[in-house]
Structure formats: C-alpha cells, structure tokens
Amino acid sequence: MYLCLISILQVFDKDGDLKEREAAETTVRAALDLIDELNNKSINKEVKTIQQLIPDLFSYLDEAKRITEELKDLEIPEEILKEFCIAWQYQKNWIKAKKSERRNKYKDKEQEELELLKDELGDEFQELKETIYAQLDNIVQSSTMVENINSILRMYLNTSRNHITEGFLNFFMFYHNHRRYVGGKRKGKTPIEILTARKQEKDWLELLIEKVPWGQFKIATEHTEQEYFKKLQILCGLLCNNFVKSFLITGIMQKR
C-alpha cells in the first residue's frame, strides 16, 4: 500500500505519460480509505491529516501539464519527449533516495535512458537534455519542499524543546537562504543564488556577522579567529537560544 501511494505521487508513469490529477486524487482517497479500515488509532490520525491535504497535494500536476505542453513546441517526436521525462523522473528519484542502494539503482536507470536518447539524437542530445530538464525542474512538489525545510528545522526544535524565539527563526531563515548545498545537482550553490541568479561571494556566517553593528558592542574589526568567537558569543546572546552557540561555532570551525 505504501509503495502504491509513493508511485501515485510521481509526476510521470512508467511510460513517460503525465499523471492525471483527478485519477491520482481518486486513487489516493481509495488507498487511504483502505488504511483507515485497519482501525489503528495512531495511523488513522495521520490518514485524516493526509485526507485534508488532498485538495492541494497534486497541484504540481497542473504546473506539470502546462510545462509538458510548452515542451511540445520543441517539435521533437512525442516518444523522445516521453523518454526524457522518464529519465528526469529517475533523476528526481535518486536525488531524493535516502539509501545508497536505491540511489544507485535510479542513477543507473537514468543513465540507461540517457544513453538510448544519446544514440538516437546524436549531436542534438546535450542541448535538448539541458532544455527539457531545466523546464521540468520548474515542477515543484510543494509537500517535498516543506518536508525538506521541516527536516532541517526539526532537529533544532527538538534541542530547544519547542521554546523558539522570533530571533532564532530569523536566524534560521538567513542560514537556510545563504547556506551552500553540499550534494545533489545544486551542490555548491545557495538558495538565494538560485532565486536571484547572482553569485554569493561569501559564506553565510561571514554575511551574518556583517549584518551586526559591532561598534555598539565595542568589538574590534580585525578578522581574527578570536574576534570571530567573541562575535559568535554575542550572537548567541542576541538570539536567546542555547543551541545556536554550538551551531555557530560549528560554522566557524568548518571555515578554519
């Protein structure tokens, strides 16, 4: 049942055809009804939450439909476009895979599809791949985006026992927008770079430290490690969150 639900959330089916939103919603409702019949209180609570989300859960399919219609303007055979859609979905799957076995499996499948396309298209392959992948990357499954942010924030909420200040949330927002991805296709980039298309020259911690008017704290402007740690201690006090101290110190140690 779980694998069935995961499969339904895919943008394209195994043949590269776009999923129909109405059919996907109907299938998910039927699957949730079956799970609900298990009469497991803890599971049923989650089922009800998901049922409430269904009206917005598949909104990404509307955007996917618009994008795939635009891609038809490329005037390539429909089967070629479908093969690219299959390959792109394999890429999405290996990027999201937590286990190396699944990651490698989907990487291999994507490569197999791309090799076939390369043989068919020859010199046109690379430009078409970049164009189609770039368009398909605009399909954002909002639930995945929310889960991604929540997974990062959750460990900080746990350490502070949910006593979160506005200062900490502002700090987290700044960190999240200016940190560099360490893996995946966005490796080396920051969210703010992707949003603005402008290169971020400095590390998030340097940018954060530059935001504070240090003169009022009588802190020297020398860029020594000792001065950095003084500034980190003041930031921790300003944010009123004990966990932030170790978090910021980890950031500066990574720059050493």
pLDDT (0 to 100) of residue 144: 52
pLDDT (0 to 100) of residue 245: 47
d(CA 27, CA 33): 10
Kindly indicate the confidence band of residue 182, based on its pLDDT and cuts at 50, 70 and 90: confident
| Res 16 pLDDT > 50 | yes
d(CA 48, CA 32): 9
127 CB-near residues (< 8 Å, 6+ apart): none
129 vs 147, more confident = 129
pLDDT (0 to 100) of residue 87: 96
Token digits of residue 158: 């746990």
| Of the candidates 11, 185, 186, the residue with the CA atom closest to the CA atom of residue 89 | 11
Percentage above 70 pLDDT, the chain:
68
| Res 7 pLDDT > 70 | yes
DSSP string, the chain: -HHHHHHHTSSB-TTSPBPPHHHHHHHHHHHHHHHHTT--HHHHHHHHHHHHHHHHHTHHHHHHHHHHHHHGGG---HHHHHHHHHHHHHHHHHHH-SSHHHHHHHHHHHHHHHHHHHHHHGGGHHHHHHHHHHHHTT---HHHHHHHHHHHHHHHHHHTTT---HHHHHHHHHHHHHPPP-SSTTTT--HHHHHH-----S-HHHHHHHHS-GGGGT------HHHHHHHHHHHHHHHT-HHHHHHHHHHHHHT-
d(CA 106, CA 100): 10
| Res 244 pLDDT > 80 | no
Question: Which amino acid, one-letter code, is at 171?
Answer: F
d(CA 233, CA 249): 9
d(CA 256, CA 251): 9
pLDDT per residue as tens digits for the range 79-93: 999 999 999 999 998
Cα 175 versus chain centre, distance? 15
Stretch 155-165: mean pLDDT, rounded?
56
Half-sphere exposure (Cβ direction) of 196: Cα atoms closer than 13 Å: 9
Stretch 143-160: mean pLDDT, rounded?
53
> What average pLDDT is seen over the chain?
77
Contact 58, 24 (CB under 8 A): yes
d(CA 185, CA 188): 9
pTM above 0.85, yes or no: no
| Res 240 pLDDT > 50 | no
pLDDT per residue as tens digits for the range 73-127: 998 999 999 999 999 999 998 988 888 898 999 999 999 999 999 999 999 999 9
pLDDT (0 to 100) of residue 65: 93
